[in-house]
Protein backbone atom coordinates (compact mmCIF):
# COMPACT_ATOMS: atom_id res chain seq x y z
CA UNK A 1 0.00 0.00 0.00
CA UNK A 2 1.45 3.35 -0.98
CA UNK A 3 1.50 6.43 1.23
CA UNK A 4 -1.59 8.01 -0.34
CA UNK A 5 -3.62 4.83 0.04
CA UNK A 6 -2.48 4.60 3.67
CA UNK A 7 -3.52 8.20 4.39
CA UNK A 8 -6.93 7.57 2.82
CA UNK A 9 -7.34 4.37 4.81
CA UNK A 10 -6.40 6.16 8.06
CA UNK A 11 -8.76 9.05 7.34
CA UNK A 12 -11.70 6.72 6.63
CA UNK A 13 -10.94 4.56 9.66
CA UNK A 14 -10.76 7.57 11.95
CA UNK A 15 -13.99 8.94 10.47
CA UNK A 16 -15.73 5.62 11.19
CA UNK A 17 -14.39 5.57 14.75
CA UNK A 18 -15.65 9.07 15.49
CA UNK A 19 -19.04 8.22 13.98
CA UNK A 20 -19.17 4.95 15.96
CA UNK A 21 -18.58 6.83 19.19
CA UNK A 22 -21.26 9.34 18.17
CA UNK A 23 -18.83 12.19 18.75
CA UNK A 24 -20.79 15.43 18.94
CA UNK A 25 -17.60 17.43 18.48
CA UNK A 26 -16.66 15.49 15.33
CA UNK A 27 -20.20 15.87 13.97
CA UNK A 28 -19.91 19.64 14.50
CA UNK A 29 -16.52 19.60 12.79
CA UNK A 30 -18.11 17.93 9.74
CA UNK A 31 -20.88 20.55 9.81
CA UNK A 32 -18.22 23.26 10.03
CA UNK A 33 -16.39 21.76 7.07
CA UNK A 34 -19.58 21.64 4.99
CA UNK A 35 -20.40 25.25 5.87
CA UNK A 36 -16.87 26.45 5.25
CA UNK A 37 -16.65 24.86 1.79
CA UNK A 38 -20.15 25.70 0.60
CA UNK A 39 -20.59 28.14 -2.28
CA UNK A 40 -21.55 31.52 -0.95
CA UNK A 41 -19.82 34.78 -1.83
CA UNK A 42 -16.57 32.85 -2.31
CA UNK A 43 -16.82 29.71 -4.42
CA UNK A 44 -16.05 26.19 -3.22
CA UNK A 45 -13.29 26.07 -5.83
CA UNK A 46 -11.59 29.13 -4.36
CA UNK A 47 -11.95 27.77 -0.85
CA UNK A 48 -10.31 24.48 -1.85
CA UNK A 49 -7.38 26.45 -3.24
CA UNK A 50 -7.15 28.54 -0.05
CA UNK A 51 -7.12 25.32 1.96
CA UNK A 52 -4.38 24.00 -0.29
CA UNK A 53 -2.15 26.98 0.43
CA UNK A 54 -2.75 26.65 4.16
CA UNK A 55 -2.00 22.92 3.99
CA UNK A 56 1.39 23.70 2.46
CA UNK A 57 2.26 26.16 5.24
CA UNK A 58 1.06 23.73 7.95
CA UNK A 59 2.83 20.77 6.27
CA UNK A 60 -0.29 18.65 6.69
CA UNK A 61 0.09 15.77 4.25
CA UNK A 62 -3.40 14.40 4.84
CA UNK A 63 -4.78 17.91 4.27
CA UNK A 64 -2.83 18.33 1.04
CA UNK A 65 -4.10 14.99 -0.19
CA UNK A 66 -7.73 15.81 0.67
CA UNK A 67 -7.58 19.26 -0.93
CA UNK A 68 -5.97 17.96 -4.13
CA UNK A 69 -8.47 15.13 -4.40
CA UNK A 70 -11.33 17.60 -3.85
CA UNK A 71 -9.72 19.91 -6.41
CA UNK A 72 -9.82 17.13 -8.99
CA UNK A 73 -13.51 16.54 -8.29
CA UNK A 74 -14.22 20.29 -8.55
CA UNK A 75 -12.54 20.62 -11.94
CA UNK A 76 -9.60 22.60 -10.62
CA UNK A 77 -6.60 22.36 -12.91
CA UNK A 78 -3.10 21.37 -11.85
CA UNK A 79 -1.96 24.86 -12.83
CA UNK A 80 -4.44 26.40 -10.38
CA UNK A 81 -3.20 24.11 -7.63
CA UNK A 82 0.39 25.12 -8.36
CA UNK A 83 -0.58 28.78 -7.93
CA UNK A 84 -2.15 27.96 -4.55
CA UNK A 85 1.03 26.09 -3.62
CA UNK A 86 3.05 29.14 -4.64
CA UNK A 87 1.03 31.34 -2.28
CA UNK A 88 1.71 28.79 0.47
CA UNK A 89 5.41 28.96 -0.34
CA UNK A 90 5.34 32.75 -0.18
CA UNK A 91 3.73 32.57 3.26
CA UNK A 92 5.80 29.66 4.59
CA UNK A 93 9.21 30.13 3.03
CA UNK A 94 11.71 27.31 2.54
CA UNK A 95 9.88 24.80 4.78
CA UNK A 96 6.81 25.23 2.57
CA UNK A 97 8.90 24.33 -0.48
CA UNK A 98 9.67 21.04 1.23
CA UNK A 99 5.95 20.53 1.96
CA UNK A 100 5.12 21.18 -1.67
CA UNK A 101 7.08 18.09 -2.70
CA UNK A 102 4.36 15.92 -1.18
CA UNK A 103 1.66 17.95 -2.91
CA UNK A 104 3.27 17.15 -6.26
CA UNK A 105 3.25 13.44 -5.37
CA UNK A 106 -0.49 13.65 -4.79
CA UNK A 107 -1.01 15.62 -8.01
CA UNK A 108 0.80 12.88 -9.93
CA UNK A 109 -1.72 10.36 -8.63
CA UNK A 110 -4.87 12.47 -8.93
CA UNK A 111 -4.09 14.05 -12.30
CA UNK A 112 -1.88 11.33 -13.79
CA UNK A 113 0.89 13.83 -14.51
What is the per-residue pLDDT for 42? 98
Rg (CA), the chain: 14
Domain ranges of the chain: 1-36, 39-113
Q: Domain 39-113 - what CATH class?
A: mainly alpha
What's the pLDDT tens digit per position in 22-49? 999 999 999 999 999 999 999 999 999 9
Contact 36, 29 (CB under 8 A): no
Q: Taking the alpha carbons of 26, 32, 85, 75 in that order, is the dihedral positive or negative?
A: positive
What is the per-residue pLDDT for 26? 97
This prediction's pTM: 0.90
Residue partners of 106: CB distance under 8 A and separation at least 6: 4, 64, 65, 68, 69
Model confidence band, residue 1 (pLDDT cutoffs 50, 70, 90): confident
Instruction: Compute the distance between CA of residue 64 and CA of residue 99 in angstroms, rounded to an integer.
Output: 9
Amino acid sequence: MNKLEELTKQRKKSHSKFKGFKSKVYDKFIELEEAAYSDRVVSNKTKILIGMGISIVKNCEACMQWHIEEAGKAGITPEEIVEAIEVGIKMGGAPAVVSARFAFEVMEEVYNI
